[in-house]
Chains A and B, each alone.
Chain A
Amino acid sequence: MRWLPVFISLALPFGTLAAKKPSSPADTFNDFHAKAISNTPVKLADSSYKKLTASPRDYSVTVLLTAMDPRFGCQLCREFQPEWDLLAKSWLKGDKKAESRIIFSTLDFSDGRDTFISVCSLFKPSIVRLGTNTIILVEPPNRTSAAVLPPTIGPHAVPGVEGPIRFDFTNGPLLADQVHAWLSRHLPDRPHPAVKRPVNYVAWAVGVVSTLGIAGALAKAGPYILPIAQNRNAWAAISLIGILMFTSGHMFNQIRKVPYVAGDGRGGISYFSSGFQNQLGMETQIIAFIYGLLSFSAIALIMKVPRVADAKKQQVWVLLWSAILFLLYSFLLSIFRIKNGGYPFSLPPFM
């Protein structure tokens, strides 16, 4: 099971974090909203986080806790960041009058280490979860999480919610739409501007130009390409490669994203995974190669050998191809016995 990032909903007051506030909640909101207009989501640091999340609040705050620094090696953080930015931008765009009273923000581990740790330690389970024997405080940077802080006062205040409500995405890739659905559930009675993905003009331009280019090239080079396109040998080769690829489990590799090779636990490489239901990338290539050679020797015996006019030559070819056929099939059976322990059949020499 793959662990995807945790989404943390922080409902309600942060008693410990509430610093004394000279300014009113409305001022703080306007302040941060102005920042958000110029650059959303707002980048936070320790002090601004405290200021933003101070109680009382009549607005909501969502925070993405992330660690973009390559040192932490948080692949998910980097994958999710563009989606988060997209969500924040389209929310801001769709809600120009700020009726939903929500601030999107990002807290990076390197900007607000202390806050990060103090927030994360509120959710011990989700923090210890990732590794099995690493130290708790080192772990937060490996993950990305988001939090919502609903207002404490005003019309949208959520009464009666005690402590944080966690929300997890445990499967599937993280898309802005999923987070949007979750936010909408937790922020009722206010506008939820839909996520609008910007039109990717570059991709369109590249697509149109390359289509035209390919069409033009085909039209121009048609007389040269046509013989290849009509060549039976080429199509035969393409079909056989396709069939060999699919029957040796290529689609399984694509869907399950299996590793190419695996260690055997003694520092070496193991080419074949034991177990009927799994396989390695390298393994399927070896199998496809064996299938290919076996088919090719069968083809050679059917098509080529009877067309060799010289009797001696023909004898040599027959011996060669039959030897390949016999040895490889025996080898294939021996590989299959690795995968299926109880399989009783084998052929010499690979007993």
Chain B
Amino acid sequence: MAVATASDPSPMQVLADFGKSKSLRTLLRVLILCFIAGAAVSSRLFSVIRFESIIHEFDPWFNFRATKYLVANGFYDFWDWFDDRTWHPLGRVTGGTLYPGLMVTSGAIYHALRALTIPVDIRNICVLLAPAFSGLTAFAAYLLTNEMTTNTSAGLLAAAFMGITPGYISRSVAGSYDNEAIAIFLLVFTFYLWIKALKLGSVLWGALCALFYGYMVASWGGYAFITCLVPLHAFVLICMGRYSTRLYVSYTTWYALGTLASMQIPFVGFLPVRTSEHMPALGIFGFLQLVAFIYYIRSALSGAQFKAFLFVGLGAVFGLALLALVAMTSAGYIAPWSGRFYSLWDTGYAKIHIPIIASVSEHQPTAWPAFFFDLNMLIWLFPAGVYLCFQDLKDEHVFVVVYALFGSYFAGVMVRLMLTLTPIVCVAAAMASSQLLSTFLSVKSPKAKDPGQEDVADSSSKKTKQNAGSLRSASSPYVGVYSFLSKGLVSGIMTIYLLLFVLHCTWVTSNAYSSPSVVLASRMPDGSQHIIDDYREAYQWLRQNTKEDAKIMSWWDYGYQIGGMADRPTLVDNNTWNNTHIATVGKAMSSSEEVSYPIMRQHEVDYVLVVFGGLLGYSGDDINKFLWMVRIAEGIWPDEVSERKFFTPRGEYRVDGEATETMKNSLMYKMSYYNYHTLFPPGQAQDRVRGVRLPDTGPVLNTLDEAFTSENWIIRIYKVKDLDNVGRDHAAAASFERGHKKKKATKKRGPRALRVD
């Protein structure tokens, strides 16, 4: 049908006849799918073409480092990997605390290519893994959609949508080597296998579904979405009175094998039987046994006996199971909902109790422009597609409805979960648009009947239809579209929209989702592109100028990058598993030097790294993140760190001359603005992010030495001074260096007494 756009009826007829041959159709379909995969891959290559083949952002740097470790040391070493170069001095049992699917996948590809004697760098595999898998995701979307409708063109449209929609591209451009890169393919494919298993009631498909579910568990924490959605689908089907042996076979196969598979991952372990987010799957498993038993009993007992048995038995078992669940939760055998999951339901929870989750920008709720930005016209075709599912409402259509509702709820609560909504939006929207197109692009027009005759036929068929309990809008018989004008108009509009969708996706991908954020791009006054490469400059400096085991303290955002690019041990990183340790760094950053120095000594810190955007106007810098450091530190040491003290009496967060004393004395402030005023003529010092003028005298650092400042001042690295040779405190030593006489011993000590010239 993709070819049927010619205007002349006779060639069209020829084409239609030509396209009727089955093998040719298959060939066309394969070709179209290949083109879609090609489009999906190539639209993700903007960043490689503009910048270079580079790993993006933060988390991918860790994945990249882990992959290198896997390739270098082999699978078993990777499995048992204890990493002493992060979370100094604690270290991290990396092999047991990560989802290994991504690294193992790229490791396998690497070895396969080597075996085929194709020399390829592991970095290029990592960079291009996400685009490659997006092609597979498009194919999986094609398969899933074909299970929903008899119209094969819907599958092709879904594949095209899935391939280029920004909602998916956002996490899968070349270089974003993150778990989501392969997980979305696995998500869609697992759902396809589930539908297939359910339709056929086949153990084989159920086992395949469990296999891919296990792969998904190994790849991404978002597997809980499948763990909750499949039981929910089963539960809704039972409630609708649609229990069948097909459901029983497919669900029990999936659950038993899938749970066993998921428990093989060390990071997951016994969680599937011990945490609340896995309980729905277990509960439905038990419930299905019960329902199956009842169906069996019904075939053996008389009606009245069965009714009594049903009420007593079902009620008792359900009540007992619920009681057991509550008892085991309160006794501590089953962990209650973990904070991250709980915050999806009680949306105010994270803000109060887990500031570290609330501080991540991906965990914010989604405003409507984000939906439109990521899905464009699919967002309104989506409800139409869901409505079409109600037309014959088979088991698989129930799945679409359930997925659509829950997916859109979760996407509304958390920006990041837009990713799990996108597949179903593509599927539903493709169903709607393909049905629209096939209605209005069909060559045949019905012959006009006279109205009287039609009325009779209409009313009689209405009755038969109504009994079937279908949709109201489908109550009258299908006729077809009469005029060529209608066909031309609607298909014209749809063509415009589809073209606009492609333009939109390309524009969004190129403008919003293709920045590596390690390398920044700006425009020179003459319009040429200027690359700002401060991050790599600074990490390279660290790599070349510091000892191999020099400990770097920075805010956790940069931990993975330091580990990946500079190869130096860090105190905290983006795997935020230890809140107290992060709070320690937060406290060191937000306290005065006298408090911070002992903390840094205790943690053997050699260098401190801060990100400062004041010179360039780079707003993602540490001063703007500073309040989160304060908040997280305050959560652990409420007596020593107080967010209130960083605000002026008028409640403003200021960095200029009016800033509070606590702010001015904090290590972060001092490190950010140290010597900054010397860049400007007197009185002209300006912070371009906050847009304020800074005082003429900059902060004084006693316990740190400036070691390195990058070209645009984005990264500043300080060396922590060693203890003084003659036992003075640093303030006194620094004061002496500046040419002041030693103060009389009777004077009170402390840095406040320092005179600053």
Please give the residue numbers on chain A whose beta carbons come within 8 Å of chain B beta carbons, in ascending order. 1, 3, 6, 124-126, 128-130, 132, 166-168, 170-173, 182, 185, 230-233, 235-236, 239-240, 242-244, 246-252, 254-256, 276-279, 283-284, 287, 290-292, 294-296, 298-311, 314-315, 318-319, 322, 325-326, 329, 332, 336, 339-340, 342, 344-345, 347
- Chain A residues lying within 8 Å of B489, measured Cβ to Cβ, are 318-319, 322
The 6 closest A-B pairs by CB, nearest first: A251-B412, A249-B368, A168-B644, A294-B380, A246-B408, A318-B486
Interchain CA distance A239-B406 in the complex, whole Å: 10
Contact A322 B490 (CB under 8 A): yes
Collect the chain A residues with CB atoms within 8 Å of residue B524's CB: none
A290 to B451, CA, bound (A): 35
Q: Are A239 and B470 in contact (CB under 8 A)?
A: no
Q: Are A168 and B366 in contact (CB under 8 A)?
A: no
* Main SS at interface, chain B: helix
Contact A246 B411 (CB under 8 A): yes
Contact, CB under 8 Å: B486 / A315: yes
Q: How far is the CA of A299 from the CA of B386 in the complex (A)?
A: 10
Quick check: B643 and A170 within 8 Å, CB to CB? Answer: yes
Please state if B384 and A295 are interface contacts (CB–CB under 8 Å). Answer: yes
Contact B485 A315 (CB under 8 A): yes
Question: Which of A232, A301, A306, A311 is B471 in contact with, Cβ under 8 Å?
Answer: A232
Q: For the complex, give the distance between the alpha carbons of A246 and B386 in Å.
A: 14
Of the A-B pairs whose beta carbons lie under 8 Å apart in the complex, a sample of 30, sorted by A's number, is: A3-B651, A128-B649, A129-B647, A129-B648, A167-B638, A171-B352, A182-B638, A232-B390, A235-B390, A239-B390, A246-B412, A247-B412, A249-B366, A249-B412, A251-B409, A276-B370, A279-B367, A290-B380, A295-B383, A295-B384, A305-B481, A307-B474, A309-B479, A311-B483, A314-B486, A315-B482, A318-B486, A326-B493, A329-B377, A345-B503
Contacts of B380 in A (CB 8 A): 290-291, 294-295, 298
The residues in B between 370 and 389 inclusive whose CB is less than 8 angstroms from any CB of A are 370-373, 377, 379-384, 386-388
13 further interface pairs, Cβ-Cβ under 8 Å (given A236-B386, A278-B367, A318-B486): A168-B642, A171-B352, A239-B386, A243-B382, A249-B367, A251-B365, A254-B365, A276-B367, A296-B384, A306-B481, A336-B372, A339-B369, A345-B507
**B650 cross-chain contacts in A, Cβ below 8 A:** 128-129, 132
Q: Are B381 and A295 in contact (CB under 8 A)?
A: yes
Distance from B135 Cβ to chain A, minimum over Cβ atoms (Å)? 26
Asked if B123 lies at the interface with its beta carbon under 8 angstroms from chain A, I say no
CB distance from B643 to the nearest CB of A (A): 5
Task: Decide: A239 and B371 in contact? CB cutoff 8 A.
Answer: no
Distance in Å from the Cβ of B471 to the closest Cβ of chain A?
A: 6
**Contact in complex: A247, B368 (CB < 8 Å):** yes
In the assembled complex, how far is the CB of residue B483 from the closest CB belonging to chain A, in whole angstroms? 5
Chain A positions within 8 Å of B497 at CB level: 329
Let me know if B454 is at the binding interface, CB within 8 A: yes
Which single residue of chain A is at the shortest CB-CB distance from B432?
Answer: A298
**Distance, CA A172 to CA B336, complexed state (A):** 22
Q: Across the interface, which residues of B come within 8 angstroms of A306, CB to CB?
A: 439, 478-481
For B393, what are the chain A residues with a Cβ–Cβ distance below 8 Å? 232
Q: Quick check: is B616 within 8 A (CB to CB) of the other chain?
A: no
For B439, B472, B651, the residue with the greatest tally of chain A CB atoms inside 10 Å of its CB is B651
Are B651 and A314 in contact, CB atoms less than 8 angstroms apart?
no
Residues of B within 8 A of A309 (CB): 449, 451, 454, 458, 476, 479
Confirm or deny: B504 has a beta carbon within 8 angstroms of a beta carbon on chain A. yes
The residues of B that contact A231 with a CB separation of less than 8 Å are 469
Q: Find the A residue at minimum CB distance from B451.
A: A310
Alpha-carbon distance between A124 and B436 when the two chains are bound, in angstroms = 68
Residues of B within 8 Å of A336, CB to CB, are 369, 372
- Give chain A nearest CB distance to B165 CB in angstroms: 14
B434, closest chain A residue (CB): A302
Cβ–Cβ contact A302 & B435, under 8 A: yes
B387: which A residues are within 8 A, CB to CB?
236, 240, 295, 299
Q: Which residue of B lies closest to A133 (CB)?
A: B650
**Considering the chains assembled together, what is the distance between the CA atoms of A310 and B650 in angstroms?**
71
A172-B351 in contact given A239-B404, A255-B413 (Cβ < 8 Å): yes
Contacts of A243 in B (CB 8 A): 382-383, 386, 404-405, 408
State the CA gap A284–B367 with chains docked (Å): 9
Name, among B393, B480, B496, B644, the residue most crowded by chain A CB atoms within 10 Å (CB to CB). B644
User: Contact at A233–B347, with CB atoms within 8 Å?
Assistant: no
Residue among B372, B474, B650 with max Cβ neighbours from chain A (10 Å): B372
Are the C-beta atoms of A129 and B651 separated by less than 8 Å? yes
User: What is the CB-to-nearest-CB distance from A311 to chain B, in angstroms, rounded to a whole number?
Assistant: 4
